[in-house]
Structure 1
Amino acid sequence: MTLQNFKIRQLSKNDVHLFKKLVELFREVFEDNQPQLTDAVQFNPLQRPDFIAYAILNEHEVIGGLTAYELANYYSGIPEIFIYDIAIKTAYQRKGLGKMLLREIMKYAGDQGAKEVFVMAHTEDQQAVDFYTKAGGKDEAVVSFTYKPVK
């Protein structure tokens, strides 16, 4: 199986069916057991101009993908791209597909005049850290904090 067998497609607001398959793939790869939205059409981030999604297709099967957000930088006006999720179906990993996705989002970022593309990975997720390092990413020593909303 060569990389020519796979097609990367940037999802548009009309690709809800592919986006739903991509979210299912993320849930499978990340072993995510959170409750699923009952109506993914009602919450469709593809409608947002700052949301970016790519799917890798093998025939009509979604076997990988990436989601990201374009963030406006109010200091410089130059956008930055934050990769939210990237995953490849387990059977297709280690074939260069993840790097294909990174190249695609880097090209998108270049076309938008973005300052940088960044992604976060948990230090204990050695597979992700290794992937981003091998793909040419430069790590930064950053501490991330999370908070629970209050009502």
Structure 2
Amino acid sequence: MDNKTKQRRLIIRIALVVFWICLGVVLFVLNRGHSILMDNHSVEALNLRAPDLITVTVDKLKPLEFFRNDRDIFKVGGGKHRITIEFSDGTETFTTTFALPLKGDMFLLSIPKMLNGTEPYFEPYINNEIQSRNDAEPAQEIEAPLAP
């Protein structure tokens, strides 16, 4: 083979490798899965009251009903999501879109903060950090009376 044919084959092979790497990155970003923990608790620090009964739909997933102080989880794919909240008291339906960062597997989303436009209304949820804070608190021992 001549030198031009070898160069052409090398360029085609490099282009194919670059194409496959780019395709892998795009598929990873578009299909990155997250868990969104929806929290319908009132936020006392900001004086935000949670709605009484709502129906929440994320993307095209099955809608879930939330009472005040409820918490449930949605498993979603991708980075950008559309959320729709329907109120039982006749209030106008709330719809918004939001994007989750690639870093982090689970996010805690506060519905009252989102409804009132308070940023940030979602934050990374790391169960180990919560457990370590609970472990740091001294355990209270309860002494039971001795039986005669």
| TM-score, scaled relative to structure 2 | 0.23
Q: Which has the higher contact order (CA 8 A, sep 6+)?
A: 2
* Higher radius of gyration, 1 or 2: 2
